[in-house]
Amino acid sequence: MKRLLVSFAMTAATLLAQWGGELRFCLRSDPKTFNPLLVDDEASETIRYLTGGVLIRVNRLTQELEPELAASWKISRQGRVITFQLRRGVSFSDGTPFTADDVAYTIRALMDPALHSPTGDSFRSAPGGIATNISAPNQITIAFPAPVAGLERLFDQVAILSSRSPRKAPPVLGPFVVARYTPGTEVVLERNPHYWKTDAGGRHLPYLDQIRLDIQQNREIELARFTRGELQLINTIDPEMFTRLARQEPALVRDAGPSLESEMMWFNQNPMAPLPDYEKIWFRSQNFRRAISAAINRADLCRVVYYGHAQPAAGPISPANRSWFDARLQPHGYDPKDALDRLRRDGFHLDSGVLRDRDGHPVEFSLITNSGNKARERMAAMIQQDLAAIGIKLNIVTLDFRSLIERISQSFHYEACLLGLTNYDLDPSSQMNVWLSSAGDHQWYPNQKTPATAWEAEIDRLMQAQAATVDREKRKTYFDRVQEIVSDQAPFLYLITKNSLSAVSPKLHNAAPAMISPQTYWNAEYLALAPAQLARNAR
Amino acid sequence: MTRARNLAIGLLALIFVASLFANFFAPAPYAAQFREFVSAPRSHRFWLGTDDLGRDRWSRLLYGTRISLLLAPAAALLSTVMAVVIGGIAGYAGGWWDRIVRRVIDVFLSIPWLFLFLIVRALLPLNASPFASVAITFTIMGLIGWAPAARIIRAGALSLRNSDLVLQARACGSTGPRLLFVHIAPNLKPVICAQFWIAIPTFILGEASLGLIGLGVAEPLPSWGNLLRELVNPRAVAANPWILAPLAVLVVVVSCFQLLLPEKEFAS
């Protein structure tokens, strides 16, 4: 129904919109690369999204897969093989035809170990090569050495390269091409004259002639330019600015609901960490972790720090991820009495307002977070007051990001850490590096030789089981169980899930902000400017 | 000029007393979060409104002033003593000692202290209490802030060493410590005092700058540095002008310290 309404709105708006014009918005930094296979930063991802043609696209609004350059596809041999039927009559931006050779060339380049492609890493399910077989000019089969869970979704990130065109200015299959890049100033994209899509009326897409991406780090300046009408959208806006803008111009702001970004804290459970033994005992206790979780008022964090534009988080998967979110999970409730009960079960007791363990050590620990992140610093200050209410002294330490990463991944010299998490990939297989006990990003105790606890062993087993099958129902059952264990054991205390906030000019038609990235320009080929904006651009 | 100095002394005394007895004047503890009154405007209950965590700004200003005003002079004293010892002996002794000290001063003046500060802060024990962290912050500033003063004191000592006054004292048989402490040191007093008074506002502003990038005093302890962080948002300032109060107090205090500089120093 939602999809139908959006389609209707787009069609209606299209009638009002005109072809042409320039859309302007900001990138927060220079793109690190224009090679779509090497993208690992937000600015480069924006360029890839707007210029790259992909075989399959995840619709950001419905989160369903949609055919793009592949007219259809079929997965066989338990997720080891995928066969694409390619769309006919498609050309690159330089006019050369798109064929199965281009897909084979892209896959070979993507999986070249010398390239170190971050996108290619997602396809590496097991050691061994990936074989491509072109059975017809518009049909290609790709075979993997082992099943790849959520295989088809991974192709959303793979922009197809041309096997015949020059390397210096490679042609693209997406709606726009890079026309000009001035470092530190702007990237200008122009419409791809050979783009294959047409709208319902048969008009060639995209509607826009040009997209100008101004490189602007300062978010205040970005907001000021947006309110002056110089920019037509802000893809993500922080809650404080959102609230301010909403007071001035309520029609300009859009809250699309929970995003994929969450904030969490965890305790250092690494037995080799240079911490006193009694602290290690605290941190390894499920009761202690759950008590801390119960003592934190998540509703206040959402209301005070995020101005109401966040939700208390229940687990590792945000409600924005409709396919994998476990709706049965509830956020840990704020209950200081329950917190103290749990602590008493572990021998803790209150002594003149100070919580002490069974050996009399006062409960005091530090929480590290990165300096300069105002929201995180405010959350830490609120957690400090919440924990003080149950007799725990929390010391907040803000560190520059490199020092923080060094502590949590190398020296393990920290007690608790507060950081954020963004899942760009919706599929749980992308989180293997977090949940497997042997993984480096298993933050509370990374790189374990054998699972330290029975519940971590169970998570290992479930994650491997979900990755080894293509049965969607089975995978969901396995991963739901992982989420339940994580919620129960609380190795990560999930605090809040931020809402997806953006600002869109009413002069920009067909914008339908989504919960997942890119929130506002996911349907860039359908975006159109109102006649008034076109006249302003012309001036 | 005397009237202005008297006014400066009076204002400083008033601010010192108000901050020293913050427990009496502050209506709320500096860390108390009134979460139902976040970013509240000025009222009878909250004289300067509340910050973005619902903490009473007036109470935090009083406690923050106490911290900055007590620790900045302490750090200034530390750096001045170091400057007197290192710069004074270099100027008096001359020779290889002077050459070494000059090079060390040059090196200290050329080091990007902000980055060094980031490293030092990262190496500090994690469980330092907020008060320990603020004391460490000012101590580090004191330990690294001696070089500019040492250069000036060295120059003063060098010029005195070659002066007729010292020549006459030597001719009368004065040597070593007597020459240093009886003849040279008293003549350096105005320079030393000036360096001390200049260092106080420098350290106050230094802590404020560190606070602006989140490396100053740890939460929940207030200081002028972390109070001034609210001014980063110019629109918030326009909407709530009373958040300028810490800046106003800082300007008044720094101006008063400048007025307290010895008159000789002004003349030079």
Quote the ipTM score.
0.78
From the list B211, B186, B89, B86, the residue with the least C-alpha distance to B144 is B86
> Which residues of chain A lie closer than 8 angstroms to B118, CB-CB?
400, 403
Mean pLDDT for the stretch of residues B123-131: 76
CB-CB contact of B71 with B56 (8 Å) = no
In this complex, which of A300, A365, A415 lies closest to B35 when CB atoms are compared? Answer: A300
The predicted-structure confidence for A247-285, as pLDDT tens digits, reads as follows 989 999 999 999 999 999 999 999 999 999 999 999 999
- Spacing of C-alpha A482 from chain mean position: 20
The predicted-structure confidence for B160-212, as pLDDT tens digits, reads as follows 888 888 889 888 888 877 887 888 888 888 889 888 888 887 887 788 777 66
Q: Which pLDDT does position B267 carry in this prediction?
A: 43
A501 - beta bridge partners? A255
Residue B248 backbone phi and psi in degrees, to 5: -60, -45
Residues A2 and B163: their CA atoms lie apart, in Å, by: 91
The predicted-structure confidence for B219-254, as pLDDT tens digits, reads as follows 788 988 778 878 877 777 877 888 899 889 988 988
Residue B268 has pLDDT above 50, yes or no: no
In this complex, which of A304, A395, A413 lies closest to B35 when CB atoms are compared? Answer: A304
**Contact check, Cβ <8 Å, A395/B218:** yes
Which residue of B39, B219, B226, B229 is the best one to mutate when testing the A interface, meaning the one whose CB has the most A CBs within 10 A? B219
Q: Which pLDDT does position A151 carry in this prediction?
A: 86
Please give the C-alpha separations between residue A125 and each of A54, A143, A177, in angstroms, as whole numbers. 21, 12, 33
Contacts of A394 (CB under 8 A, 6+ apart): A364, A365, A366, A367, A380, A383, A384, A387, A388
Q: How many CB atoms lie within 10 A of CB A294?
A: 24
Give A27→chain B minimum CA distance, Å: 21
Whether residue A415 lies within 8 A of chain B, CB to CB, comes out as: yes
Read off the amino acid at residue A457: A
Confidence band of A4 (pLDDT split at 50, 70, 90): very low
Residues B29 and B14: their CA atoms lie apart, in Å, by: 21
DSSP letters, B7-50, are: HHHHHHHHHHHHHHTHHHH-SS-TT---GGGTT----SSSTT-B
Q: What is the mean pLDDT of chain A?
A: 91
Whether residue B116 lies within 8 A of chain A, CB to CB, comes out as: no
Task: State percent of chain A over pLDDT 90.
Answer: 73
**Contact check, Cβ <8 Å, A400/B126:** no
> Which residues of chain A lie closer than 8 angstroms to B129, CB-CB?
395
Q: Which pLDDT does position A147 carry in this prediction?
A: 82
Residues A247 and A231: their CA atoms lie apart, in Å, by: 19
User: Taking CB atoms and an 8 Å cut-off, how many pairs form between chains A and B?
Assistant: 63
Residue A300 has pLDDT above 80, yes or no: yes
Whether residue A299 lies within 8 A of chain B, CB to CB, comes out as: no
Q: What is the mean pLDDT of chain B?
A: 85
The predicted-structure confidence for A7-37, as pLDDT tens digits, reads as follows 544 554 554 556 789 999 999 999 999 999 9
CB-CB contact of A418 with A377 (8 Å) = no
**Contact check, Cβ <8 Å, A414/B35:** no
Mean pLDDT for the stretch of residues A171-188: 96
Nearest CA in chain A to B134: A397
The predicted-structure confidence for A114-124, as pLDDT tens digits, reads as follows 888 888 877 87
> Which residues of chain B lie closer than 8 angstroms to A219, CB-CB?
none
Q: Is the dihedral of CA B126, B127, B133, B135 positive or negative?
A: negative
Tokens for A360?
């009399």
Q: What angle do CA B20, B22, B27 make, to 5 degrees?
A: 170
Read off the amino acid at residue A37: L
Read off the amino acid at residue A449: K
**Contact check, Cβ <8 Å, B33/A385:** yes
Q: Which pLDDT does position B4 carry in this prediction?
A: 87
Please give the C-alpha separations between residue A380 and each of A262, A366, B42, B181, in angstroms, as whole numbers. 15, 10, 26, 53
Give A403→chain B minimum CA distance, Å: 6
In this complex, which of B121, B219, B234 lies closest to A380 when CB atoms are compared? Answer: B219
Residues A30 and A217: their CA atoms lie apart, in Å, by: 9
Largest Cα–Cα separation, chain A: 80
Give B129→chain A minimum CA distance, Å: 6
Q: What angle do CA A112, A117, A122 make, to 5 degrees?
A: 100
CB-CB contact of A58 with A321 (8 Å) = no
